[in-house]
Structure 1
Amino acid sequence: MTDSSAPTALPSIADLDPRELGGDGSILVRQRRDHDELDRMMNDYEQAPPGDPERERLWKDVVQLTFSHAFAEETVLWPLLRRLTGDGEELTAIVEEEHQAINELVARVEEAGPDDPRREQWIAEAFALIRRDIRDEEDELLPLLRAGLDDRRLRRVGAAWEAVRLTAPTHPHPAVPRRPPGNAVLGVPLSGYDRLRDLGARRAGLLAGAALGAAGAVLLARRDRRGTR
């Protein structure tokens, strides 16, 4: 006999169509888009033969998307989720631990030489953690945002998250805190250094405008969080 008092599980965002996720621009649509892209790139990396230069390009792309995506979550989404639900503190703590473990593994890979025999094992471990993190977010955390916010709010949060993601650090920095305001205080200056590494010094002029955009997005996110009080 089914216990009618047991809470009904919320559907994973993996099982919903874009309209059910709040439509174009929704944070849930944006999150799933990034997750799908990460999954595709990790699969392509694993299927490419050893020694193929494409593998290194794919690895760099995975790293850049993983860290910008996670930083935006920790800056915009998880503080909001902690205000929306009583389970938010416990659930976001689990994901933050996963993010930290990924951070430390990728830092090892970046510090190791290309011929280090441990490198591929660390990459495989990082991929396994990224995949677990995606499932935890899509099955446990993000459904709570769908349940707690209307479509218009989901799109507003999506815009703030996207602005932070586009100007966030793109490499591991294990010493940076996982929560605001410490992550923003230490992480935003590092994003300029990371993007110089990624894009090259000739693109440095774009960073000033990007930094302004990030500051505005953080302010918008803080105002949005105050609205949940």
Structure 2
Amino acid sequence: MAGHGGDVIAELTADHREVDEFFEQIEQINPGSQERKQVLDQLTIELVRHAVAEEEYLYPAVREHLENGDALADKELADHARVEQLLKDLQSTKADDLEFTELLVNLKMEVFAHVRDEEDNLFVQLREACHPFVLESLGQKVRHAKKTAPTRPHPSAPDSPPANKLLAPGLGLVDRARDFVTGRGQ
């Protein structure tokens, strides 16, 4: 999920399609296979980076530009919290454990519902409410945020500014160092 280019809506929609592809890959791998866990690691990295970028830039813009922005942003943050907890639970579950498959199904349902809601509601409202320049600027900020974001779920980390902007780069550096040492996501 490197930068895709375009405004914030194009950028995040492209991320969503990548996530769809990761789920398709996982579903083609035999249940219980360690390979499923490896692809899940890649999916986790991408989902966490995506979520951090949304929390740093998209949701503050939603609060600022949309009439019911606070409620919308709060709902999206609650979605992220559920996804992050599922990712954390999956990290500590073995691929051949029956609970792994159950958690994976729950993760897919949560992510797909969140994506549909963003694409069908939130993005439509943002496109109507924001000048194209604002959306383009947000796209650039989101791309930058994904480069420095953590790669592991941190469900107890703050998800609202300014604390999330202060902590995300530090957590990201620690996570990327750990990933390099362990080879995770390679």
Q: What TM-score do the two structures reach when normalised by structure 1?
A: 0.73
**2:74 counterpart of 1:93:** yes
Structure 1 residue aligned with 2:42: 61
The verdict on how the C-alpha distance between 1:50 and 1:111 changes in structure 2, with shifts beyond 3 A counting, is closer
Structure 1 residue aligned with 2:21: 40
By percentage of residues, which structure has more helix?
Answer: 2
**2:135 counterpart of 1:124:** no
- The answer (yes or no) to whether the contact 2:34–2:95 under 8 Å persists in 1 is no
Aligned-pair identity (%): 29
Which of 120, 142, 150 aligns to 1:161? It is: 142
Using CA pairs under 8 Å that are at least 6 residues apart, name the structure with larger relative contact order, 1 or 2.
Answer: 2
Q: Which amino acid aligns with 1:172?
A: P
Post-superposition Cα deviations, 1:90-117, rounded to whole Å, max 9, x if no partner, equal 1111111110011111111112344433
**2:57 counterpart of 1:76:** yes
Post-superposition Cα deviations, 1:107-151, rounded to whole Å, max 9, x if no partner, equal 111123444331221121111101111011111111122112232
- The answer (yes or no) to whether the contact 1:68–1:170 under 8 Å persists in 2 is yes
- Structure 1 or 2, whichever has the larger Rg, is 1
Which of 138, 159, 173 aligns to 1:178? It is: 159
Tell me the secondary structure at the aligned position of residue 176 of structure 1.
coil
**2:132 counterpart of 1:151:** yes
- The answer (yes or no) to whether the contact 1:81–1:144 under 8 Å persists in 2 is no
Tell me the secondary structure at the aligned position of residue 169 of structure 1.
coil
For structure 1, which runs of at least 5 residues remain unmatched after alignment? 1-23, 203-229
Q: Aligned pairs, how many?
A: 179
Q: Which amino acid aligns with 1:109?
A: L
Matches of 1:49 and 1:112, distance apart in 2: 16
Q: Give the drift of 1:201.
A: 7.9
Range with greater deviation from structure 2 (80-89 or 45-54): 45-54
**CA RMSD across the alignment:** 1.8
Matches of 1:175 and 1:184, distance apart in 2: 15
Q: Which amino acid aligns with 1:77?
A: L
Q: Which 4+ residue blocks in structure 1 deviate beyond 4 angstroms?
A: none
Matches of 2:167 and 2:92, distance apart in 1: 21
- The answer (yes or no) to whether the contact 1:67–1:169 under 8 Å persists in 2 is yes
For structure 2, which runs of at least 5 residues remain unmatched after alignment? none
